[in-house]
Chain A
Amino acid sequence: MITFAVLAVVMVVGALGVVLLRQPVHAALSLVGTLLTLAVVFVTLQAHFLAAIQVIVYGGAIMVLFLFVIMLLNLKEEATKTRAAYRWVAYGVGVIAAAAIAVGALLDPRQAPDALAVSEALRGGSPELIAEVLFGEFMLAFQLVGVLLLTGMVGAVALVQRHNEPPRPGTPLADASRRDARGTR
């Protein structure tokens, strides 16, 4: 329980850092910290497989890409052009949302399952158990999420495509675009 409390505090502080830090790289790093702390929470629940996947997918892949884009665009401290009034509206909405979540959690009649029982049910977080659920009961949802991600990827590729005709080979434009494709701009 104490472990969880400490981890929860670290996670909330990390999440606040994502929103409040001005420097984009610092905010992204704060998010990395939050996600890694979540992995530690999984470890305390004996869900080792989930923890490893959390670190590999979020820590090792997604956040690396986030930081890659931030560095590539060389984003500096964000100039605060937002109007003060908007900021107060945002604060208000945030506080109300947080209060709603807190009230909902406190009024929920369901008892939180015992951590021991949870780790018992997870059987040491074995991948077999997760595979049974993921590729059995939730097979359709799993496939649909896959299709959704693929659609997103195709959309992203379509958005960055050039709309003009491919230039004829040998013209300066073609050479330039070839250099471009090689990434030696």
Chain B
Amino acid sequence: MDPLGVTFLKALALCTVLLGAFAYMTLIERRLLGRMQHRYGPNRLGPFGLLQPIADAIKSVFKEDIVVSAADRFVYVLAPMISITFALAAFGAIPGGPAGSLFGFDPWIVDLDIGLLYVLAVTSIGVYGIFLGGWASNSKYPLLGSLRSSAQIISYELGLGLSVLSVIMIAGTLNLRAIVELNVWSVSPWLWPPLAVAFGAFVISAIAEVNRTPFDLPEAEQEIVAGYLTEYSSIKWALYQMAEYVNMMTASAFISTLFLGGYKGPTVLEPWIPGISDWPIVWLVAKMALFMFLFIWLRATLPRLRYDQLMRFGWVYLFEVALAAALVTGAVIAFVL
């Protein structure tokens, strides 16, 4: 346990880093999308467009902050704050390295025995931001966006929870550090098939939970203007964008932690550089980058699902597949091991 002051500083540093990463993820995303769609993307401001996020930040701060006169004022202002607060809070439980590896301090903000549930709980509260924002705008497209968002998130939380169940059963703990230290894949090759299925189901559910293409129905711009974002401008709009990207990063880190060994590096490098697989932060960020790239890649590749396809996929396929993976994992643990 670190002293309270250090924990506070770490939390402050984490928020700063996450928001800085958000600013540059927007640039990376636009540049990558440009590359994938055979065009340039923003490349005018500074070398490779590196100053673009700063210009964007200045622009969104100095834009007029409109509060719709028909809006429910209190909820309208509260909603983006809920989104960003819970998005940032969720990341705190994810361990960045072994105990005491960050200059003698622990590379995480809180270490909970129920770390896994903490992340699920905090992210599930974050969704209030989206659908309260849509409702409070008192306008039809935002309301449609929020209805879609709550239906989608309720539906895909089932897939998320069920696919996590396999990991919990194998690890026998809800502590994220213990899950990383155990490495669920090393328990038995018998568990590989259900784990692989659970991994796939989890990644898909996580993309749906963070509202990314092909699951970005709450803000589908061709159908409902910008969904829940329609009536938001200036810094409140920016807060929603921040929350979306921070949620993406939390999802990436969460997937890596549960299924891909989290902060652990490959041990094959140990003979050359001893201790490299225990370096804090580095490996987690590398794995997160992998998933962030995957999210952007999917956005450039897949068209958006229709609403009925979304519901059918979630309830008929994802739910059953994740349930089957959990049952098979349980059967293997009970009868084979």
A52 interface residue (CB < 8 Å to B): yes
B289 interface residue (CB < 8 Å to A): no
Chain B residue with the shortest CB-CB distance to A74: B143
The answer to whether A64 touches B150, judged by C-beta atoms less than 8 angstroms apart, is yes
A-B contact pairs, 8 of them (CB 8 A): A32-B128, A52-B114, A60-B127, A68-B131, A68-B147, A68-B151, A72-B147, A182-B308
| Residues of chain B within 8 A of A53, CB atoms compared | 117
The answer to whether A29 touches B117, judged by C-beta atoms less than 8 angstroms apart, is no
Interface of chain A: mostly helix, strand, loop or mixed: helix
Given contacts A29-B75, A71-B143, A72-B147, contact A61 B117 (CB under 8 A): no
The answer to whether A52 touches B117, judged by C-beta atoms less than 8 angstroms apart, is yes
Q: How many residues of B contact A (CB 8 A)?
A: 29
Which residues 21-44 of A sit at the B interface, judged by CB distance below 8 A? 23, 25-26, 29, 32, 36
Interface string of B120-160 (1 = CB under 8 A from A): 11101101100110010000000100110011011001000
The answer to whether A48 touches B114, judged by C-beta atoms less than 8 angstroms apart, is yes
The answer to whether A68 touches B120, judged by C-beta atoms less than 8 angstroms apart, is no
A126 interface residue (CB < 8 Å to B): yes
Q: Which 6 A-B pairs have CB atoms at the shortest separation, nearest pair first?
A: A60-B124, A52-B117, A182-B308, A55-B121, A68-B150, A56-B121
A positions within 8 Å CB-CB of B: 23, 25-26, 29, 32, 36, 48-49, 52-53, 55-56, 59-61, 64-65, 67-68, 71-72, 74, 124-127, 182-184
| Residues of chain A within 8 A of B135, CB atoms compared | 25, 67, 71
The answer to whether B146 touches A71, judged by C-beta atoms less than 8 angstroms apart, is yes
Interface string of B286-321 (1 = CB under 8 A from A): 000000000000000000000110010000000000
- Taking the closest CB of chain A, its distance from the CB of B124, in whole angstroms, is 3
| Residues of chain A within 8 A of B128, CB atoms compared | 32, 64, 67
| Residues of chain A within 8 A of B157, CB atoms compared | 60-61
Chain B residue with the shortest CB-CB distance to A182: B308
The answer to whether A127 touches B114, judged by C-beta atoms less than 8 angstroms apart, is yes
- Taking the closest CB of chain B, its distance from the CB of A94, in whole angstroms, is 26
